């Protein structure tokens, strides 16, 4: 079953999974020394740490909105060498099935960004052709992200896989945004550049309720959101990541936002608190409900 369900006002969220991938801890924590991060997330003998392939299903305003969609199942030799994916409970589609849903039941798919671990299930093989996995959905991404994904450089070409998103454009189901956008009355997207230049995060806020902030890879783990200097080695604009986090960290604290991250295996959901010295930390959602 989904790892967690959140109910805020008349909005419901399910945290779904496409499995767990294992990555080098040095990539996950960048310039942070192993002696610091290993205390929080001990690596295995190959220095690999687990990263949840988290997707979020939102029911709001009469719509089902899927945020990010894992690595998928299309054959991809390059992806297979980078993503050590383990799926003891199946895939994202299995999680949807356990909720009594099929891909046809999704109305919108919102990408925080188009890296291979966030866009894999966007398309699937239909015979010998690639087709949208969610046939009744519109797919939403920032225009800058799509442009960068379609024209990768030496640093980014191993993170973007055109089979995940180019067919969406060809089919006319991809919606390109230029900045902050209200998706439904309760859901909006905001640019959060740093991990990629076109990265976006989501704010879910029913009327009169505290917001839910879906960070995407602005902060893959909760510790990345709490500690501004902790930035992954995969961020193409690391100093911009820090500036972006500074803004949204203070906003999340002041708004008492529920924060949902994309990869943390221990604290997928939390809320920021501040000690008497002004330093932030995070508490699991269970500490507040």
- The number of beta carbons lying within 10 Å of the beta carbon of residue 274 is 11
pLDDT tens digits, residue range 234-286?
999 999 999 999 999 999 999 999 999 999 999 999 999 998 888 899 999 86
- The sign of the torsion formed by the CA atoms of 145, 146, 152, 158 equals positive
Q: Tell me if 59 sits within 8 A of 16, measured CB to CB.
A: no
- Whole-number Å distance between alpha carbons of 118 and 198: 14
- Whole-number Å distance between alpha carbons of 77 and 193: 29
- Whole-number Å distance between alpha carbons of 157 and 240: 21
Element (H, E) at 17: strand 11-24
- Whole-number Å distance between alpha carbons of 143 and 215: 19
Task: Tell me if residue 140 falls in helix, strand or coil.
Answer: strand
Instruction: Say what the pLDDT of residue 213 is.
Output: 98
Task: Tell me if residue 167 falls in helix, strand or coil.
Answer: helix
pLDDT tens digits, residue range 203-212?
999 988 999 9
Domains, in order of start, for the chain: 4-207 (3.60.15.10)
pLDDT tens digits, residue range 100-156?
999 999 999 999 999 999 999 999 998 889 999 999 999 999 999 999 999 999 999
């Amino acid at each position: 079953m989904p790892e967690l369900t959140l109910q805020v006002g008349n909005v419901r969220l399910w945290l779904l999974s496409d499995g767990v991938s294992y990555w080098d801890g040095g990539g996950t924590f960048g310039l942070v020394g192993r002696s610091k991060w290993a205390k929080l997330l001990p690596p295995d003998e190959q220095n690999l740490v687990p990263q949840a392939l988290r997707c979020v299903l939102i029911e709001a305003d009469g719509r089902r909105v899927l945020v990010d969609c894992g690595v998928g199942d299309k054959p991809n030799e390059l992806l297979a060498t980078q993503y050590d994916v383990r799926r003891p409970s199946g895939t994202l589609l299995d999680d949807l099935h356990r909720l009594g849903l099929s891909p046809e039941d999704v109305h919108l798919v919102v990408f925080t960004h188009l890296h291979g671990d966030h866009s894999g299930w966007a398309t699937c093989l239909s015979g010998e052709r690639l087709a949208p996995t969610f046939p009744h959905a519109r797919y939403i991404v920032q225009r800058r992200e799509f442009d960068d994904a379609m024209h990768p450089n030496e640093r980014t070409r191993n993170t973007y896989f055109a089979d995940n998103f180019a067919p969406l454009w060809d089919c006319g189901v991809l919606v390109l945004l230029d900045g902050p956008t209200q998706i439904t009355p309760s859901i909006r997207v905001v640019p959060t550049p740093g991990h990629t230049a076109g990265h976006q995060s989501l704010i879910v806020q029913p009327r009169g309720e505290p917001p839910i902030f879906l960070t995407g890879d602005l902060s893959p783990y909760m510790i990345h959101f709490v500690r501004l200097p902790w930035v992954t080695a995969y961020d193409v604009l690391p100093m911009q990541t820090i500036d972006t986090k500074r803004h949204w960290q203070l906003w999340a604290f002041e708004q008492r936002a529920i924060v949902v991250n994309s990869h943390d295996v221990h604290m997928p959901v939390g809320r920021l608190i501040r000690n008497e010295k002004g330093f932030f930390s995070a508490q699991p959602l269970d500490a507040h409900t």
